[in-house]
Chains A and B, each alone.
Chain A
Amino acid sequence: QLVLTQSPSASASLGASVKLTCTLSSGHSRYAIAWHQQQPEKGPRYLLKLNSDGSHTKGDGIPDRFSGSSSGAERYLTISSLQSEDEADYYCQTWGTDIWVFGGGTKVTVL
């Protein structure tokens, strides 16, 4: 079964970096994922698509502060130079045969 696992919360200070993790279920370690940001009271926004080799493609207008990387079944989103507007929920997404799956989301707090 295709499942994505995310930690519920993360926090870091203004100007610091934070690294979020999305873990693919067993047998799916080569799957690509996408990261989405959802600021409070807004619809989600696509950030980037991340491949198993760590290569990634960002959406239009996504700042350089957002980057992705991969290791085995883990997919990471790193936000550098944290800004107050980065306080949001972050979801990873993947897809299989006739199915699309989201992780449970990570709430990022900027201290």
Chain B
Amino acid sequence: EVQLVESGGGLAQPGGSLRLSCAASGFSFSRYEMNWVRQAPGKGLEWLSYISNSGDNIYYADSVKGRFTISRDNANNSLDLQINSLRAEDTAIYYCARTYMYGYYFDFWGQGTLVTVSS
């Protein structure tokens, strides 16, 4: 069974940093491209970042470029998102999502981890 389990969320100070993780299981992680998506309270989904299966190709949404860093560890089946210079508007549930192997859409999602940025 495919599972994506996010962790690392919590309460953080404005200007601080946070590292989110996504543990993958039930599939051959190293063969799949992965993504991070967030959802602010009461709002819709916002794509944040993509990483290729090897980690060689990385893309970011303009809204987070320069502050967010995506990475992966294929040996440990994990995906990370480093968030720096936290802002109140980063308050959201953060989801990892798998890209379908033969296409560009997301075919599995995690349950999310909540990040709250507040002093």
Contacts and interface: CB of A to CB of B under 8 A. Distances in A.
A80 to B, nearest CB: 23
Given A98-B59, A99-B61, A100-B35, A46 B44 contact: no
Q: Give the contact-size bracket for chain A.
A: 20 to 34
Contacts of A36: 45, 106, 109
A24 to B, nearest CB: 14
Chain B binding surface SS class: strand
B50 interface: yes
B105 A43 contact: no
Given A46-B105, A46-B107, A93-B105, 7 more contacts: A36-B106, A43-B95, A46-B106, A91-B44, A91-B45, A100-B50, A103-B44
Interface of B: 35, 37, 44-47, 50, 59, 61, 95, 97, 100, 103-112
